[in-house]
Chain A
Amino acid sequence: MTVETIVPEPIIQFLYVVASVLFIFGLKMLSKATTARKGNFVSSVGMLFAIVATLLYIGIDYKWIVVGAIVGSVIGASAARLVKMTSMPEMVGLFNGFGGMASLLVGWAEFHRITRGDAPGILFTLIAIALTILIGGITFTGSMIAYAKLAEKMETKPILFKGQQIVNVLVLAAGVLASILFVRAGNVAGYPMFAVAVVAALILGVLVTIPIGGADMPVVIALLNSYSGLAACAAGFVIMNNVLIVAGALVGASGLILTSIMCRAMNRSLANVMFAGVGASASEGPSFQGEAKTVGVQDAYLMLEAATSVVFVPGYGMAVAQAQHAVRELGDLLEANGCEVKYCVHPVAGRMPGHMNVLLAEADVPYEQLVEPQDVNPLMSNVDVAVVIGANDVVNPAARTEGSALYGMPIIDVDKARVCIVLKRSLKAGFAGVDNPLFFSPNTRMLLGDAKASITAAVAEFKE
């Protein structure tokens, strides 16, 4: 790229190195609770360095850049301020998509520049452009579908049709073929094929996301997060810029780690999550029969009042009922009553990685009371009451039974607590369509109805 620079190139490169180092430190700090907030700040300073360096590099004409930056900043800032914590999954989904689209546009702009020149583009750059638009396109529409599902603007159940895999493969093949053709053309004659590749990537993003159901969303969100990084990385190869490559690769790697954590927490492979469409139909496997014992708020209160240790296990149902504040209030009353209170969060509870933690933090649940399943499970037999709030598959003991669709998934062993109270709307099976024998276990009591209403009622009992 030949542009007039107002600052010598080495200084620009130095600033980019500083930015990369700040990203690295920021990300490292972001993965530890005590330093996370500072880490986020450090990484934002890195971004400032990268942007300032780029502006210094290109010099004077900022007109359109300023317009774009102001519009983007205002939208971003207001979204960040206004978003409700319960809507975080949608927002993260949306942002992933914007990242992918921005990279796609960078790739497109660069291709456009090449088509206007006399000389054909460099092969390497063209290949990088192809990767950028393919990954960016898939990330964009994939994220939009994920957003629509999370915001319940469309059916959250998997959408499956006959020959789905074949259609996917054909669309992917079309995208790759079109890419090869426009890369080979390397000039304005490649434009139609370029357009085909973009459209194919956009369609593919839709196709691969629609068969994924609500409870598998944490995996998809993490994966799309990774893709948005990889798209930026590919854009870095397009414009031959190290800071894009480093930052994009870091994000790609962190997204991959989250994805694998999520898959491990469900004991499923990524391929299984992406293609199996779990939850589309009632799955086979052993079925459990029996009589569930229901309980009223009054009795639930008596059990809680007598308990010396209580574990709350929240799930997506808590988010739906917006019950987190009521839950915290109940927890506080229990503590005041001399009871030890813990909140145990399963990694895939909710619709995105860490979903429950964000909600409980919003409700001012102290950090130390949040525990992970592997820390609580060994002590479960000493727990007087386990309160399951709108969680199902993550506490389903069927996961220990061979042949069940959930077999092998690490669960929270609430059935081993002395008493388990399950707050639930109905006795229906969970997302995975697997019956939950927990409901029929002798020491389980079902408290049917809206979780928030039930808990608020229990709180009222306490206050009397």
Chain B
Amino acid sequence: MDNIGLLLFVFVLAIFLGLELISKVPSQLHTPLMSGSNAISGISVVGAILAAQQGEGVVMIVLGTLAVALAMINVVGGYLVTDRMLGMFKHKSPEKK
């Protein structure tokens, strides 16, 4: 499978890209960055959907549905809480002066 080589290639580039993208983060943003990236790691919902849909047999359905639920907690909870936090950070500077 030459597909495999391509996947590894993408993986290595993505790691380097990630390290490059976020090399300088002010400490104010450490927590939002964590919860925001946490939401992104909920991307396993894609795998979970595929698994749940394959639904041959009870085991697959249970595993898939549970995985979808857990991943969606991450996605929805992660994005919302990050937004809430960043909202608190924001509107100060204008009203300050």
Name A residues whose Cβ lies closer than 8 Å to a Cβ of B: 1, 3, 23-24, 26-28, 30-33, 36-37, 39-41, 43-44, 46-47, 50-51, 54-55, 57-58, 61-62, 64-65, 67-69, 71-73, 75-77, 79-81, 83, 85, 88, 91-92, 95-96, 98-99, 101-103, 105-106, 108-110, 112-113, 116, 122, 124, 221-222, 225, 228-229, 231-233, 235-258, 261, 345, 347, 352-355, 357-358, 361-362, 364-368, 370, 372
Contacts A358-B31, A372-B27 given; does A106 touch B54 at CB 8 Å: no
Residues of A within 8 A of B28 (CB): 33, 354, 357, 361, 367, 370
Contacts A229-B40, A357-B27 given; does A103 touch B73 at CB 8 Å: no
Residues of B within 8 A of A247 (CB): 40-41, 43
Residue of B17, B33, B96 touching A24 (CB-CB under 8 A): B17
> Are the CB atoms of B36 and A354 closer together than 8 Å?
no
Contacts A69-B72, A124-B1, A244-B44 given; does A366 touch B96 at CB 8 Å: yes
Name B residues whose Cβ lies closer than 8 Å to a Cβ of A: 1, 3-4, 7, 10-11, 14-19, 21-57, 59-61, 63-90, 92-93, 96
> Are the CB atoms of B32 and A354 closer together than 8 Å?
yes
> Are the CB atoms of A232 and B44 closer together than 8 Å?
yes
Smallest CB-CB separation from B84: which chain A residue? A80
6 sampled A-B residue pairs with Cβ under 8 A:
A28-B22, A36-B29, A106-B47, A249-B15, A251-B18, A253-B14
Residues of B within 8 A of A77 (CB): 76-77, 80
> Are the CB atoms of B46 and A258 closer together than 8 Å?
no
> Are the CB atoms of B7 and A237 closer together than 8 Å?
yes
Residues of A within 8 A of B96 (CB): 366, 368
Residues of A within 8 A of B31 (CB): 88, 92, 352-355, 357-358
Residues of B within 8 A of A65 (CB): 49, 52-53, 64-65, 68
Q: Which of A68, A83, A242, A367 has the most CB atoms of chain B within a 10 A radius of its CB?
A: A68
> Are the CB atoms of B35 and A353 closer together than 8 Å?
no
> Are the CB atoms of B48 and A68 closer together than 8 Å?
yes
> Are the CB atoms of B21 and A24 closer together than 8 Å?
yes
> Are the CB atoms of B34 and A221 closer together than 8 Å?
yes
> Are the CB atoms of A109 and B67 closer together than 8 Å?
yes
Residue of B34, B51, B82 touching A225 (CB-CB under 8 A): B34
> Are the CB atoms of A68 and B93 closer together than 8 Å?
no
> Are the CB atoms of A250 and B48 closer together than 8 Å?
no
CA distance A361 to B33 in the complex (A): 15
Residue of B10, B48, B86 touching A102 (CB-CB under 8 A): B48
> Are the CB atoms of A64 and B21 closer together than 8 Å?
no
Main DSSP-derived SS at the A contact region? helix
Contacts A39-B36, A96-B38, A252-B18 given; does A76 touch B56 at CB 8 Å: no
A-B contact count (CB 8 A): 382
Instruction: Give 5 A-B pairs besides A98-B70, A239-B47, A353-B31 with Cβ atoms closer than 8 angstroms.
Output: A30-B37, A51-B49, A254-B37, A347-B30, A353-B34
> Are the CB atoms of A109 and B92 closer together than 8 Å?
no
Main DSSP-derived SS at the B contact region? helix
Residues of B within 8 A of A73 (CB): 72-73, 75-76
Contacts A40-B83, A76-B76, A367-B92 given; does A112 touch B63 at CB 8 Å: yes
> Are the CB atoms of B29 and A31 closer together than 8 Å?
yes
Least CB distance, B53 to chain A, in whole angstroms: 4
CA distance A238 to B44 in the complex (A): 11
> Are the CB atoms of B74 and A98 closer together than 8 Å?
yes
Contacts A106-B48, A124-B1, A361-B89 given; does A249 touch B72 at CB 8 Å: no
CA distance A43 to B43 in the complex (A): 11
Residues of A within 8 A of B65 (CB): 64-65, 67-68
CA distance A244 to B50 in the complex (A): 12
CA distance A116 to B36 in the complex (A): 37
CA distance A26 to B21 in the complex (A): 10
Least CB distance, A315 to chain B, in whole angstroms: 14
CA distance A232 to B29 in the complex (A): 23
Residue of A30, A46, A101, A113 touching B33 (CB-CB under 8 A): A30
Residues of A within 8 A of B18 (CB): 27, 249-254
> Are the CB atoms of A69 and B69 closer together than 8 Å?
yes
